[in-house]
């Protein structure tokens, strides 16, 4: 059995389709391993070699990776929730309740989306504090620090725009209070509030605007910025490792 | 740079400076960048216009509050749809906003304590809108109140009046 399976695998690897996708052959040498990373769109910005120290848990607590994984979870569950949610005033609240009580596994998806959102805000903040205390904002990482701060703001704004979408009392008053805080901005505050809400009150226009921000504009911005963020980590010479970790001492 | 007199034979005609020192290439570059800049500013302006709705489907800011006899003396009546208190005191009528001046929550009339209280952050007001305590920076504004020709109360939420202006019926 084993031999017939191996020969089948061998034959598969000899096919033209296989060879067109995996052009490098098995990654047995450092060169072929590097080429495998360079030739893959999703991996090409990752470092080909990593110091073992920067893979230790205490080098980063994997907080950036955790934030990214949570973002992917939110992206997938968010798209699934969109199949049942209408961003309009008579429907939004009922759709949210339908997801909880009527749709198969809807409550699981909604809770996953909600909990992952809470955790992501937590993880992103912790990531920022950790990088700050590690001195990760110092040269040559200044640019990436600023990109990270913008990503934190995008995360918070994603969280805030998502808060309105259940269209319940909590959502309504949270957005009423939040947009009144915005209107305290000098000179342009009331105009910014008017544009954000698409009117003077939290109504249908506000729900639609927050929805478009939440499902299109902000995730798109987050994806682009995350791409830059990862790429800069590699270009700036990897993670910031404490000098004493560099020496190999703990 | 080649001499202007012999340039038709030697140098590129695009790089020849005119008498004022500007080459044709520089001139065209500046014209192009200027045009792109104007187009960019224009698109920002029209995008801003696009995002400002011209028609709003919001509750009317002017409304009728019924016959004055509906309100006993003294009384504070909360109109849910309009978010306004119609207050009738021995001296007359006034219309007080129910929207907290702190962050826009809807306040509630507490008849037992005889005050208007905000559930969000605890601001408290007298029935005439004067602040008793809490984070609210301003008293609750008074709206213009008048009588229609057929004798009903008419409130205009866009017109803020002084608290001393009371409608006598």
Suggest the residue from B55, B83, B103, B119 to mutate for an interface test with chain A (most A CBs closer than 10 A).
B103
The set of residues, in sequence order, having a beta carbon less than 8 Å from that of A197 and lying 6+ positions away, is A179, A203, A205, A206, A209
Give the mean pLDDT of B105-127.
91
State whether residue B101 is helix, strand or coil. coil
Both tokens of residue B69?
């006899």
User: With an 8 Å Cβ cutoff, is B51 touching chain A?
Assistant: yes
Q: Is A201 inside any structural domain?
A: yes
Measured torsion, CA atoms of residues A26, A27, A33, A39, in degrees rounded to the nearest 10: 20
**Residue B2: pLDDT over 60:** no
Q: Is A192 inside any structural domain?
A: yes
ipTM, two decimals: 0.73
Both tokens of residue A25?
């052959």
Q: Is A232 inside any structural domain?
A: yes
Both tokens of residue A36?
């495998």
Sheet holding B108-110, edge to edge: B108-110, B115-117, B124-125, B131-133
State whether residue B96 is helix, strand or coil. strand
- Which of A176, A179, A199 lies at the smallest CB-CB distance from B58? A199
User: With an 8 Å Cβ cutoff, is A180 touching chain B?
Assistant: yes
Phi and psi angles of residue A43, each rounded to the nearest 5 degrees, phi first: -115, -10
Output the domain CATH number for residue A116.
1.20.810.10
Q: Is A26 inside any structural domain?
A: no
Q: What is the pLDDT of residue A89?
A: 87
Both tokens of residue B81?
């749809």
Long-range contacts of B82-88 (CB under 8 A, 24+ apart): B82/B155, B82/B157, B84/B143, B84/B155, B84/B157, B85/B109, B85/B116, B85/B127, B86/B145, B86/B153, B86/B155, B87/B127, B87/B128
Indicate if the alpha-carbon torsion angle A170, A171, A175, A176 is positive or negative.
negative
Both tokens of residue B68?
């004055």
Phi and psi angles of residue B76, each rounded to the nearest 5 degrees, phi first: -125, 120
Both tokens of residue B150?
């057929």
Indicate if the alpha-carbon torsion angle B95, B101, B107, B110 is positive or negative.
negative
Q: What is the pLDDT of residue B1?
A: 46
Phi and psi angles of residue A120, each rounded to the nearest 5 degrees, phi first: -65, -45
Q: Give how many domains chain A has, as a whole number.
A: 1
Residue A196 near residue A182 (C-beta atoms within 8 A): yes
Q: What is the pLDDT of residue B10?
A: 52
- Rounded mean pLDDT of chain B? 87
Which residues form the domain of A135? 62-246
CA distance B23 to A47: 48
CA distance A204 to A90: 9
User: With an 8 Å Cβ cutoff, is B81 touching chain A?
Assistant: no
How many angstroms away from the CA of A172 is the closest CA of chain B? 10
Would you call the peptide bond into A114 cis, given omega within 30 degrees of 0 as the criterion? no
Q: Is A219 inside any structural domain?
A: yes
User: With an 8 Å Cβ cutoff, is B115 touching chain A?
Assistant: no
Q: Where are the beta strands (DSSP E) in B49-141?
A: 62-64, 75-79, 84-89, 92-97, 108-110, 115-117, 124-125, 131-133
Q: Is A22 inside any structural domain?
A: no
Suggest the residue from A172, A177, A190, A202 to mutate for an interface test with chain B (most B CBs closer than 10 A).
A177
Q: Is A24 inside any structural domain?
A: no
- Which of A179, A198, A201 lies at the smallest CB-CB distance from B53? A198
Q: Is A53 inside any structural domain?
A: no
CA distance A74 to A110: 10
Tens-digit pLDDT string for chain A (250 aa) = 568 888 998 888 888 998 888 877 777 888 888 888 888 888 887 777 777 877 788 778 889 999 999 999 999 999 999 999 999 988 999 999 999 999 999 999 999 999 999 999 999 999 999 999 888 888 888 999 999 999 999 999 999 999 999 999 999 999 999 999 999 899 999 999 999 999 988 999 999 999 999 999 999 999 999 999 998 888 887 776 655 555 444 4
């Amino acid at each position: 059995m084993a031999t017939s399976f191996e020969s089948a695998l061998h034959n598969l690897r000899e096919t033209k389709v296989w060879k067109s996708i995996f052009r490098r052959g098995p990654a047995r040498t450092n060169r072929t391993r590097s080429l495998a990373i360079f030739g893959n769109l999703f991996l090409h910005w990752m470092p080909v070699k990593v110091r073992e120290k920067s893979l230790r848990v205490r080098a980063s607590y994997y907080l950036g990776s955790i934030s990214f994984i949570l973002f992917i979870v939110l992206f997938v569950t968010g798209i699934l929730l969109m199949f049942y949610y209408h961003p309009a005033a008579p429907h939004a609240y009922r759709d949210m309740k339908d997801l909880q009580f009527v749709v198969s596994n809807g409550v699981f998806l909604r809770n996953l989306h909600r909990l992952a959102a809470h955790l992501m805000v937590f993880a992103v903040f912790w990531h920022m504090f950790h990088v700050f205390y590690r001195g990760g904002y110092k040269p040559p990482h200044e640019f990436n620090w600023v990109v990270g701060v913008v990503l934190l703001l995008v995360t918070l704004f994603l969280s805030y725009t998502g808060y309105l979408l259940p269209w319940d009392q909590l959502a309504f008053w949270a957005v009423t209070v939040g947009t009144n805080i915005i209107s305290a901005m000098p000179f342009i505050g009331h105009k910014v509030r008017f544009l954000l809400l698409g009117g003077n009150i939290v109504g249908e226009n506000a729900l639609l605007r927050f929805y478009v921000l939440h499902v299109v504009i902000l995730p798109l911005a987050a994806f682009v910025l995350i791409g830059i963020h990862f790429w800069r980590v590699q270009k700036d010479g990897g993670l910031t490792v404490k000098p004493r970790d560099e020496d190999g001492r703990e | 740079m080649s001499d202007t007199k012999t340039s038709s034979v030697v140098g590129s005609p695009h790089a020849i400076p005119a008498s004022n020192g500007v080459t044709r290439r520089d001139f065209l570059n500046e014209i192009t960048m200027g045009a792109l800049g104007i187009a960019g500013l224009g698109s920002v302006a029209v995008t801003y216009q696009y995002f400002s709705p011209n028609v709003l489907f919001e509750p009317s800011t002017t409304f009728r509050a019924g016959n004055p006899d509906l309100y006993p003396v003294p009384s504070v009546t909360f109109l849910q749809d309009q978010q306004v208190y119609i207050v009738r005191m021995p001296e007359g009528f006034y219309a007080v906003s129910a929207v907290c001046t702190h962050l826009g929550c809807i306040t509630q009339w507490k008849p037992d304590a005889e005050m208007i209280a905000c559930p969000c952050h605890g601001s408290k007001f007298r029935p005439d809108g004067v602040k008793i305590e809490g984070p609210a920076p301003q008293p609750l504004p008074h709206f213009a109140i008048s009588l229609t020709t057929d004798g009903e109360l008419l409130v205009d939420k866009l017109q803020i009046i002084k608290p001393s202006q009371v409608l006598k019926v």
